[in-house]
Structure 1
């Protein structure tokens, strides 16, 4: 399986469980998985991350720009499908407009176009109409999704403390 990472994976990992100062092994593993072709993200996620103010995360991301894939014609076809789907799901217009401009739309479309698994920390909330979430879009396109921990287990990641 090849995994496609959502913006929140980078931000939440850095700010919660895997801060650069306490878990450098996570970032080394992530870099290794990227180099091995096990994980990617898309340029739209890169652009969202670059709008942030976290200099440490921005520095880490800037040196890995090649890991963020371009959007292709096949992806655009599924993005159009998702956009039409969103319009017909009784979401609030603001939610639809925000979704159409987000990386989420293209992330899920790219995963569908290329057979990737989306990695996100979002959880489904099908009755919430004020925001379109990745799990609902994945379900519509029949795209598999998981969280960081499931991805790491699937790829047999081991974060081992070597120095004390």
Structure 2
């Protein structure tokens, strides 16, 4: 966070402009840490949207059901590992809101070791991109002053 503080300010500005957000499940995962990022999430709770609404819950069930059907072809424990984290909730929220998921995972339809976000997004026609694509799409600029 000290490397590029403008990035974190930019995230908040984009959130205020309704261009990006995260979900409470992500906040809860980050809050387990004892670092600057955990502090930042605690100070910026409005950045994280609730997942308890009926539509997100229904979408989560659809995601979990789909993954359960694929689980026999995956490494043992892959389903439980994926469902225990924030990722399926992130996809479910995007399904309900038309949002794009931001991830550094890459589509790999041959993956058997673990479920990955792009594969699940592709199945549900949820758009996804990486952080660099997000920065480009939202025309982020972190410019040093001249002089």
Q: Fold-level match, TM-score > 0.5?
A: yes
Other-structure match for 1:29: 10
Q: Displacement, 1:35? A: 1.7
- Equivalent residue runs for 1:92-111 within 5 Å: 92-111=75-94
Q: Tell me if structure 1 keeps the 8 A contact 2:100–2:127.
A: yes
Structure 1 unaligned blocks of 5 or more: 1-19
TM-score by length of 1: 0.82
TM-score relative to the length of structure 2? 0.91
RMSD: 1.4
Q: 2:120 & 2:90 partners in 1: Cα distance?
A: 10
Deviation of the 1:102 alpha carbon: 1.3
> Residue 12 of structure 2 contacts residue 47 of structure 2 at CA under 8 Å; is this kept in 1?
no
Alignment of 1:1-164 (within 5 A): 20-53=1-34, 55-71=35-51, 72-89=53-70, 90-162=73-145
5+ residue gaps, structure 2: none
Count of aligned pairs between the two proteins = 144
The runs of at least 4 aligned residues of structure 1 exceeding 6 Å deviation read none
Per-residue CA deviation, residues 11-32 of structure 1 (Å, 9 max, x unaligned), is xxxxxxxxx2231221121121
Structure with more relative contact order (C-alpha pairs < 8 Å, separation 6 or more): 1
